[in-house]
Amino acid sequence: MELGTIQTLYTFETEYSADSVEWCPHKPHQNLFVCANYQLIENEQTGNSSKRIGKLLVFLLDADNGLKLIQSMNTSAILDQKWCHNKVNDSSVLAVATADNKVDIYQLNEQPLELKLLTSCNINSNTPENLILSLDWSTGMSNSGKLEIVCSDSKGSLHILEFNDTLNLKESWYGHEFEAWIAGFYYYDTNIVFSGGDDSLFLKFDRRTGLEPVFKNKSHEAGVTSFHSNSTKEYLVASGSYDEKIRLWDIRKMKTELNLIKMPGTLWRLKWDPFQHDKLLAACMLGGVHVVDISAEQSEIIGSYYEHKNIAYGADWSYLDNDECDKHVGKTGQCIIGSCSFYDKLLCISKVDFNT
């Protein structure tokens, strides 16, 4: 398929470096998304970086009014964020991983439409200079009342938090020798957790058997940076690495990957599409943003986007359906994505056309 099937609808220059985009999954706010920022502030006396600050930006996408920033909050630097897949007490809630060793929970309020901080959890107050690098909710395919978050940190540790009005740390354990770049639940059984680290290890844990990994995979040729469990195809998960390869896995037999896709750049984030769950959105840092179709026998890149000139860290699918996408005229396509890049401080909203 000819590349270039992803076309820009809107762009926005962020004040700080942009590293994460997450669309709200819930009606009636599927046209709302958040963009997270991370900025190092230098010490004027020493010239060294001494403080990490951030912003949490809330946007609305409207066919009549375009892209509109409706809220901007000053925060600690943000490294990852995820909406809970299910509403909590009939509200959408957002978990945010920060550079000051915390996970924050925000609730989306209706009038006015804005995020409000609900609760925070300091992961480990005895560990200075610890960054929470990634997080994932346990709710990918569960409507149970048990809400858990797994997160990973810059010291190589993993943590399980439980959210029930307040956010509490349940357990922590050492996972990786260097930074634990990514952690995520296997949505079909959230006793199972995966993690990837700068030590190039891809680990599988079963919390019922203790805190040692039940499987260590050493296939990745560099640090493991991304992971996502497929919520409709049992046993299927995806991982990505600095080695510029996406690997698809059957978690029952992880000695060899099901498929390996060479990408144009190092992987940072992977997201299964929320519709057919047979496409991956990949943020490839200096290598652009891409859509990969895994439905065919040989997985292939079916769309590429190169508007980000300097480290595309964030990418996410919107949950807007085809009819809602059609309202945004001027570009053809069946779905809308958001992406952002770091040093050029650029947020892009684009249409993806699968029929090109």
For residue 1, the model assigns a pLDDT of 36
Tokens of residue 225, six digits: 């940076």
Q: Where are the alpha helices (DSSP H) in the chain?
A: 322-326
For residue 297, the model assigns a pLDDT of 77
For residue 129, the model assigns a pLDDT of 82
Give 261-299 pLDDT, tens digit per residue. Answer: 999 999 999 999 999 999 999 999 999 999 999 987 789
CA distance 6 to 254: 33
Give 173-192 pLDDT, tens digit per residue. Answer: 999 999 999 999 999 999 99
* Residues in the chain where the model's pLDDT stays below 70: 1-4, 43-49, 125-128, 356
Per-residue DSSP letters for 126-152? TSTT--EEEEEES-SS--SS--EEEEE
Strand order of the sheet with strand 114-122?
78-83, 93-98, 102-109, 114-122
For residue 125, the model assigns a pLDDT of 63
Domains detected in the chain: 6-352 (2.130.10.10)
Whether 210 and 221 have beta carbons less than 8 Å apart is answered as no
**pTM reported for the whole predicted model:** 0.95
Per-residue DSSP letters for 173-202? EE--SS---EEEE-TT-TTEEEEE-TTS-E
- Residue 255 burial (CB count, 10 A): 9
- What is the 3-state composition of the chain as percent helix, strand, coil, each rounded to the nearest 5? 0, 55, 45
Whether 43 and 64 have beta carbons less than 8 Å apart is answered as no
Alpha-carbon distances, residue 162 vs 87, 147, 226 (angstroms): 16, 6, 23
For residue 49, the model assigns a pLDDT of 60
